[in-house]
Structure 1
Amino acid sequence: MGNSKIYLVLIGIMLIWGLNVSVIKILVEHFMPVTITALRIFIASVTVFLVLGVLGKVRKPHSNEWLYIISGAMLSVVSHHYFLSTGLSKTTAANGGLILGLGPLLTALLSMILLKRRPTNIRLLGFLLGGTGVSFTVLAGDGGINSVSVGDLDIFLAILSQALSFIVIKKAAETLDPRLLTGYMLLIGSVLLFLISLWKEPAGLASLTHGTPAVWLAFLFSAVLATALGHMIYNHAIGQIGAAETSIFLNLNTFFSLVGAAVFLGEAILPAHLIGLLLIVPGVLLGSGSMEELVLRRRRKLQHR
């Protein structure tokens, strides 16, 4: 597959992920948040293993790989999706989508802190822009600082958990296919989320009888297309064109989440949301190092001509 086709596929994935924020918002309004999330993640894991089974990519992890799989499941699945589902039940999809757009920025920042790498001035500028953009987002309500939602904090904890998981996943991927790693993490995470739902939401299973056919169709869209196939294709694209170029497309996810919130949920897009978007996108490009790496790569290509 040529790069132009990969770019088109990535745009499609970002559209799906952006709309998925609104879909999850719909799901947590019809069902108990943790219960429906556990079921959604389980269906996603089954989908991943079915696809990998057809491709002949399924194998039993080695003993030293289980620690990374369980750690990744706790961070990338349990913590991320728990806070995402509970957060979207307390805040708007517009706010959630913008805060989730900080993923690459937080990943770069945590890598610098944990690996003790000194940030460049360009990255520091990116961190400043991204932080300012989120401030505009969470203060978008009419009440200023008093309007900050607990749900916004939950969404931030969701993306922070996922950013931490990327460091674990990167280590695990040295010996384990990232797609297979995704399947195992989703399966283990779904079981843990289900156990949490039994404790936190005693009426959770009963709430599953409340859905309409349209809501269950949205559920399948989120579980199969967004969570299972979306992550598999995105991870494959990283191997094809590199992490830097792939991560740039995540900015479209932020844009599409705003569009989805306005079109499908009728949420008001405030000036503060647009200011947040205009600050977060360049913040991610600069702070994640994507722009620096692309510039350096282009320079090397020109030197070798």
Structure 2
Amino acid sequence: MNNTNSNMFTYVLLMFVMVIWGMNVVFIKMLVDVFPTVTMTSFRVFLAGVVAITVCILIKQLRKFTKVEWKYIFIATIFGVTGHHFFLAWGLTTTTASNTALILALLPLTTSILASVMLKDSLSRLRVVGIIFAFCGVASIILQSGESFTSINVGDVSIFIAMFVQAVSFIYIKKGTNTIDSRVMTAVMLVVGSSFLFVISLFAEPAGTSQMIEQTGWIWGIFLVSSIFATALGHFLFNAAIHRLGAGQTAVFNNFVPFFGLVFSALWLGEQITLLQLTGFVFIVLGVLLGTGFIDEYVKRRVLKKRKVQKAV
């Protein structure tokens, strides 16, 4: 498989991840209405980590890590698993879902900026335009609810921290996967990060575990699907894409999550999709095509092909 076809396959897998993560928005909304938030999150992430570790054992990829590799794993875990999920859960208790989605939509822009500074990842004009397009698309979807930027509270600040620490984790995931198999790094991050979250839940939600055990019925099916498919499989594929494409290009795809969240909310919760939301989706598609460098690569191939033809003549 040549590099172009390989990248295209990675884009397809990323779209699949965006679909299941959009679906997971609805699942998590169902879960937090029933379970204690931080405790549920620690259990959900831990189960995903166990599944991921099991896969790594079956494919015989687990090995000892160097001190430098452990440093990247630890930093990425603190920021991307423990920090992100803690501040996200805490913020959602005092801010709106629409404000949350809008703030999290800054993730691709933040990651691209961090990648350009910390990883020397090139940020062409077309990629900058793409990031802006994608952000505008997400903003048009969210702002139709009438939320105002002036209504920032402590919860909004917490969500911003959750977004920023996840962007930082993408940088260290990229560094770590230069020598560590992305599947192994994902598995270890999930297990270690969920352990930290569980310790936090013991203080934040002392009765959380007993409240979890008391619940029965269909909600556990939602829990399992969210944990195994959205968290374990989703992070497996997403972190592999970071290794393949880079942190900045991969993060642009996160703009699809709010859209697919809206789609599944409409299908399963009866919410209406508006024309403004569909318009936002068009902007998101354009933003991904530009922001991932796909258009840049296409233009370069066309120019190279034209030069070859001219030389042949």
Of 92-101 and 73-82, the range deviating more from structure 2: 92-101
* Distance in structure 1 (CA, Å) of the matches to 2:285 and 2:92: 21
In 2, the alpha carbon distance for the partners of 1:229 and 1:211 equals 25
| Equivalent AA in structure 2 for residue 24 of structure 1 | I
For 1:51, the equivalent position in structure 2 comes to: 55
| Percent of residue pairs bearing the same amino acid type | 42
Q: List aligned pairs for 1:225-264, cutoff 5 A.
A: 225-236=229-240, 242=245, 250=254, 252-264=256-268
Give ranges in structure 1 of 5+ residues lacking alignment: none
The answer (yes or no) to whether the contact 1:22–1:93 under 8 Å persists in 2 is no
Q: Provide the TM-score with structure 2 as the length reference.
A: 0.79
Superposed, 1:109-258 pairs within 5 Å as: 109-114=113-118, 119-142=123-146, 144-145=148-149, 154-236=158-240, 242=245, 250=254, 252-258=256-262
> Which residue type is aligned with residue 170 of structure 2?
F
The CA deviation at 1:283 is 3.4
When structure 1 is superposed on structure 2, of 247-256 and 29-38 the one drifting more is 247-256
Residue 79 of structure 1, CA deviation:
1.6
Give the Cα separation in 2 of the matches to 1:239 and 1:111: 13
After superposition, the Cα gap between the structure-2 partners of 1:99 and 1:281, relative to the gap in structure 1 and judged at 3 Å, is farther
Partner of 2:40: 36
Q: 1:26-68: CA deviations, max 9, x gaps? A: 1111111111111111111110110110101111212221111
Tell me the distance in 2 between the aligned counterparts of 1:53 and 1:76: 23
- TM-score computed with the length of structure 1 as normaliser: 0.81
CA contact (8 A) 1:107 1:288 kept: no
Aligned partner of 2:79 among 59, 75, 91: 75
Tell me how far apart the structure 2 counterparts of residues 254 and 228 of structure 1 sit (CA, whole Å).
Answer: 20
Give the stretch that moved more between structures: 100-109 or 213-222. Answer: 100-109
Distance 2:226 2:305 in 1: 40
By how many angstroms is 1:213 displaced? 2.1
| Structure 2 residue ranges without an equivalent (≥5) | none
Say whether the 8 Å CA contact 1:78–1:192 is kept in structure 2: yes
Deviates more, 1:136-145 or 1:24-33: 136-145
Equivalent of residue 286 in structure 2, options 282, 285, 299:
282
Structure with higher Rg: it is 2
Q: How far apart are residue 212 of structure 1 and its match?
A: 3.4
Total equivalences in the alignment: 304
Indicate the larger mover: 83-92 or 192-201: 83-92
The alignment's C-alpha RMSD in Å is: 3.6
Residue 225 of structure 1 aligns to which amino acid in structure 2? F
Shift of 1:207: 2.3
